[in-house]
Amino acid sequence: MDVATRGLILLSCLCAISAIDLEVVEPSYYVEPSASLDVIDYKDPCKAVAYLGDIALDEEDMRMFKVDRIVDMTHRTLNTTHTRSQANEGSPNTAVPNQAGSRRRKRAATSRPERVWPEGVIPYVISGNFSGSQRAIFRQAMRHWEKHTCVTFIERTQEESYIVFTYRPCGCCSYVGRRGGGPQAISIGKNCDKFGIVVHELGHVIGFWHEHTRPDRDEHVSIIRDNIQPGQEYNFLKMEPGEVDSLGEVYDFDSIMHYARNTFSRGIFLDTILPKYDVNGIRPPIGQRTRLSKGDIAQARKLYKCPRCGDSLQESSGNFSSPGFPNGYSAYMHCIWRISVTPGEKIILNFTSMDLYRSHLCWYDHVEIRDGYWRKAPLKGRFCGDKLPEPIISTDSRLWIEFRSSSNWVGKGFSAVYEAICGGEVKKDNGQIQSPNYPDDYRPNKVCVWKITVAQGYHVGLTFQSFEIERHDSCAYDYLEVRDGNSENSPLLGRFCGYDKPDDIKTSSNQLWMKFVSDGSVNKAGFAANFFKEMDECSRPDNGRCEQRCVNTLGSYKCACDPGYELAADKRSCEAACGGFITKLNGSITSPGWPKEYPPNKNCIWQLVAPTQYRITLLFDVFETEGNDVCKYDYVEVRSGLSADSRLHGKFCGAEKPEAITSQYNNMRIEFKSDNTVSKKGFKAQFFSDKDECSKENGGCQHDCINTFGSYSCQCRSGFILHENKHDCKELAVIMSSTAYLAPSPVPTGLINIPVRKPAPGLSPPRLDTESKSHSTKSTWSPTWNARMTTWRFTTGATAKPPASGATAAARNLHPSRPAATRCSSAFSPTTRCRRRALRRPTQQSVAVD
């Protein structure tokens, strides 16, 4: 670690957490598309110059370290697949230890004024790829900081500097403090969406470094370096005296900004940071991710210069009073109370007692009420003297109450109570409506009615971020009702309950009526919804600047193209489209620009995929491309499979339609290619998929299975006929009469299958010579035995002799047709006609036909 203590080890790279190959990257901005046409160009912590644990560092941070030399570790193999303690946040696995010899001051809480958020106000945006439950966790974490400090998180409107909650590949990661000049991301990656981890990352945003980097840490903890993962030692370096100022606070074992005992450990049960015993002989626990510690709260209040008296009030009702009430307040007091209730609720503030020094315009002692979250919000009133003000109702969900005393006159002071009321008239173009006490469970027996009105000429759009209301088939208990108008008699748009987010809603006018009802039993997290003024951008004369089609969507619009075309890179103009991955069972494909001529230099690939055991058939309706038999210029190529080297069915061009093509498997690849010269009309083809029953167990057929469209059939081989069950095959029996002579045939030789019994060893069938009476042909029969059959081969001659008596008798033994007196071979029973014995199954005898 000598190099690490004398200079800065810079590993200027970042890959995914599981990556091993390192890649040098430049500091850059990441452009993330949003749901609308706008994009957020934010400073991405996952593309920082370097890292200190889960803290992203930029060039300005590096200059602050006063680097005297850089050691490039990009060629050093690091184990970047480690896992961190479950009690601690994740982070990028790239290393930037801090320079121990730097003289620039660096604090546990940043000392640089430009890194502190002005007035403690931090605007935020939550990216659209987070779920409703994740958004609720983010809001709970922000409210936790608000509850215990004077920091305020607001949804961003027009502010230049703000944070963006994003899901990035570097896991849990953030810059320290405010980086002015635009948005900055806070990465809440995989497994980072836990309350304590989000509170920790927000601590970095507010301006805090890790607690264990303090120069006095060795008095409180021991670093077990042998247990640290190789390459992660930089995470445990400390600052020299004068580099870190903890704002006068003692070392805080309980800080949410402290590492856990086994962070970056080689084994889950091996300590890397070991707290020393306290006066009671106990090792204090470290690395909690549950809540802010007293030290965290004290440091944050000092960093943002929070008033000594006052409070952040977040309950649905409560009370507060001036210091010392009713026994009097001191001179030169400054107190601030911030009341924050659920968005969509309003606050009613009532003063129950008032006794302040009276002056002209309440110049000296006074209490001010402002309608918002900070001291620059619209003034509701400034009060002094002993006259009770009228009840004050906020226009939104926040009130700012500030008390100042500057005289030596001692009065009782004041006391006040407040209550959150849900519902009311909302007259603005956009905002948020939430169920009471969201994201915590809504309260029982609540009835809230909102009447939302936006500017004339617009509609009201409503989108739900999260939704969880007691489930019931008819929404009889807890429910949200939405109507298209400004009263409960307006047309009903929906009555919702359960856990599924309702679809986006758009009214027909500029008014929307909402009613939330809860009973006295089951309570859930409720809902959060955004409303905004909605207009049909496609109704403008320029068609939304879309070349072909304009599709209006809630809160925005998008351009679309006619069939055969696709959006160009500018998302407004259209160009000839082609190719794609298709899983439909049937459909059609066309060449680009159909029915017009296809454009030059197009290469289109369609990949058709059907379910298993299906085959795809392609049928061309129209076909006209440039080319001849060689298909050198423009062509269509069809293959069974999805790759370019799959089985080729054909390469087609010219004006002749190809025959129907059926794939060998359940997928097909169709490629169209045109050069830069002649263009033709192209093609139009239909495809349909059919189940190939023969591909599984031969369709149940004993012999051959023939697939047909929509069905299949079984067929038998020669010498067999199909059974009545349409699947099995049975032998075709041959019965020949002894008086029947061989019919004339153009084939001089042949084969006849005759079922006979194989003779006993040493015996063989006789040689038969037969003669046709009518055609004067002579046949010579010669048997040949094998293991299963006897093959009788015959040849025919031109002599016209009657068959010899011996031959006739032998033939009679084979195919008898005479009465019972006829002798039969041992394979047949001597009845009126020789019949096969039933006791033993004969073997198959064949007469071969060449």
Which active-site residues does the annotation give? 201
Tell me if 498 sits within 8 A of 471, measured CB to CB: yes
d(CA 442, CA 469): 9
Residue from 471, 483, 343, 332 nearest 409 by CA: 332
Tell me if 477 sits within 8 A of 521, measured CB to CB: yes
Integer CA distances (angstroms), 552 to 387, 565, 573, in order: 56, 19, 16
**Does residue 300 come out as left (phi exceeding 0), alpha (psi in the -120 to 50 range) or beta?**
alpha
Q: Which amino acid is at 507?
A: T
At a CB cut-off of 8 Å and minimum separation 6, what does 158 contact? Answer: none
503, 508, 512, 513 alpha-carbon torsion, rounded to 10°: -90
First-last CA distance in the chain: 93
723 is in an annotated binding site: no
At a CB cut-off of 8 Å and minimum separation 6, what does 171 contact? Answer: 17, 54, 89, 90, 91, 92, 187, 189, 190, 191, 192
Residue from 762, 790, 761, 796 nearest 778 by CA: 796
Q: How many CB atoms lie within 10 A of CB 584?
A: 12
In angstroms and rounded to an integer, the radius of gyration of the C-alpha atoms of the chain is 45
Residue 827 token pair: 């394979």
d(CA 804, CA 586): 71
Element holding 844 (H helix, E strand) = strand 843-845
At a CB cut-off of 8 Å and minimum separation 6, what does 305 contact? Answer: none
Strand partners, 590: 684
d(CA 257, CA 517): 41
Going by the DSSP 8-state scheme, the letter that residue 717 receives in this structure is -
Residue 632 token pair: 């050198």
d(CA 232, CA 88): 15
3-state secondary structure 59-124: HHHHHHHCCCCEEECCCCCCCCCCCCCCCCCCCCCCCCCCCCCCCCCCCCECCCHHHCCHHHEEEE
d(CA 263, CA 83): 9
Strand partners, 779: 770, 796
Integer CA distances (angstroms), 788 to 650, 753, 760, 836, in order: 45, 12, 14, 17
Going by the DSSP 8-state scheme, the letter that residue 259 receives in this structure is P
Percent helix, strand and coil across the chain, each to the nearest 5: 10, 35, 55
Burial-class residue 299 by CB neighbours within 10 Å (0-12, 13-18, 19+). buried
204 is in an annotated binding site: yes
E strands along 384-429, which residues? 392-393, 398-404, 413-422, 424-427
Q: Pairing relation of β-strands 556-560 and 565-567?
A: unpaired
Within 149-293, residue ranges assigned H as helices are 195-206
Decide: helix, strand or coil at residue 736.
Answer: coil
Residue 465 token pair: 């971020």
Decide: helix, strand or coil at residue 429.
Answer: coil
Residue 123 has φ and ψ, to the nearest 5°, of -70, 150
d(CA 53, CA 468): 37
200 is in an annotated binding site: yes
Per the annotation, binding residues for Zn(2+) are: 200, 204, 210
Per the annotation, binding residues are: 200, 204, 210
